[in-house]
Structure 1
C-alpha cells in the first residue's frame, strides 16, 4: 500500500478480513507511538496515512475527532495513542511491554500523565514567533526533562524505563525526545539545545533507544523534523515529503 496520504475526496481503501490496519501520519509523534509498538512486537499490519488538514470523509466516520493514530481490524476500531499501544500489548502479548509489577505500572501511568507538561511547552515553542517566549518554553522543557532524568536514574535497572528491555512508556516518551533536537534548527537558536550533558541518564537512554530496530524503522533526523515544522508553520506542509514517486 502506498505511503502517500489520503485526502478529502479520496476513495476508501478496502480493508481485508483479519488484517490489522493503522491510520497514521508520517510526521505525527502520537502516531509514531503506535508505529513503534507495532514494529517492536513484529505485528503484521498495513498503514494508511491521513492528510490531517484535508481529512477523507470516511476517516472522520471512523474517528470523528479526526486524530491519528487509529487501529482497525474487522469491526474493531481503537483510536488514541496510549489506547492503541495498550490494546496492542494486550492482544499481542508476546514480548510484553506493560510492566507486570503493579507499582511500576502505576508509576509509568504517573510518568505518562506528567509528559503532558513536556508536550505543552514543546508545541508552544514551535508555534511562537516571540524569541523570548520560545526560550521560556525551552527552559520549561529542560525542567521537565530533569524530572524524567531523576525518575529514570532512581529505577537503577536501566537503560530503559522498563529496565533491561523497553516498556510502553519508553515508546510513549521517545517521539517527543526524538524531536527536541530540531528546536535549535527550527528557531535558529543554539540556546534551545537540550543540553545532553545535564541529563546523562536520559542521554544514555536515548543512545539505547536509537539501537532498537523499531526506533530505527520509524525515526527521522532533526533536520527532517525541522523541515516538516517549517512547512507546517507556513500553513502548507507537504505530507508526502521525502517519499519517492510510486
Structure 2
C-alpha cells in the first residue's frame, strides 16, 4: 500500500511537500483536492481541512507540510537538503515565513479584502522579509549555504506567490539575488516536476502514483 497524499496543485504548502517527495523519490497515491469541495475521506483523517495531508499505510497522519517534508527526507536525502547543524536556522526561517510573512502575503495578494491599508502598504510590510532573504543570498548561493536545502524549498512557493502578485514590480525591485534564486528554483526539476495538472480525485478513481 502506498501512502496517500491529499494535495492541491497551487497551494504553497502542498507544493513544498510535493517537492520533497519528488526529490526523495518516495511514491505516494496522489489525490488532487478541490478546496471548495473537499472529499470526506480527507476530512475523516484530518479535520483541519487543509492540504497537504499524508496518510501512511499504518494509519498515521501528517497534516503539516514541513512534517511531510521531514518524513520524505528521512527516507531519502541524497543531496543533504536537511542538515542537523542548521536545524535551528532552518526552523527560524520557516517560522518567519509561515507565521509572519504568509499573513502579509495574503493581505498583499487579496488587498481588496483588507481595506484598512493600501496594496503598497502590505507590499512594503512583506518586503522586510524579502530584504532579509536578499541579504542572505548576498553571502551564499542559497539561503543557508552554497547548496539547495530544506529552507529554500520550504520558502520557494511563498516567494513565488509574492512575486506573481505584480511580476513587473518584482522584476524591477532591488532584489537581484532573490530574483535569480527564484528564477533558478522555478526552472529546477524539483519544481517543474510537481506542477502537472491532475483532475480532482473522486472515490473509486484509479490510483495516481506520484512522482510518476
Scaled to the shorter chain, the TM-score interval is 0.7 to 0.9
The structural deviation recorded for 1:45 is 2.2
- The corresponding residue for 1:179 is 161
CA contact (8 A) 1:21 1:47 kept: yes
Deviation at 1:172, TM superposition (A): 0.7
TM-score where L is the length of structure 1? 0.71
SS for the counterpart of 2:157 is: helix
Task: State how 1:25-36 maps to structure 2 within 5 Å.
Answer: 25-36=8-19
- Kindly indicate whether the alpha-carbon contact (under 8 Å) linking 2:23 and 2:190 is maintained by their aligned counterparts in 1: yes
Structure ID, larger Rg = 1
TM-score (norm 2): 0.81
After superposition, the C-alpha distances for 1:41-92 in whole angstroms (9 at most, x for unaligned) are 2222221012222222221111011111011221232111111111111133
Quote the offset at 1:117 in angstroms. Answer: 2.0
Per-residue CA deviations over 1:148-203 (Å, capped at 9, x if unaligned) read 1112333x3x2x22534311111111001112232127xxxx6xx22555112212
Number of equivalences = 194
Calculate the aligned-residue CA RMSD, in Å: 2.3
Q: Name the counterpart of 2:182.
A: 206
**Post-superposition CA distance 1:80-106 (Å, at most 9, x none):** 1111111111133433311132xx221
Q: Higher relative contact order by CA 8 Å / sep ≥ 6: 1 or 2?
A: 2
Gaps of 5+ in 2: 201-212
Shift of 1:217: 2.0
Give yes or no for contact 1:196–1:203 (8 Å, CA) kept in 2: no
Q: Which runs of 5+ in 1 are unaligned?
A: 1-16, 221-238, 241-246
Contact 1:41 1:95 (C-alpha < 8 Å) held by counterparts:
no
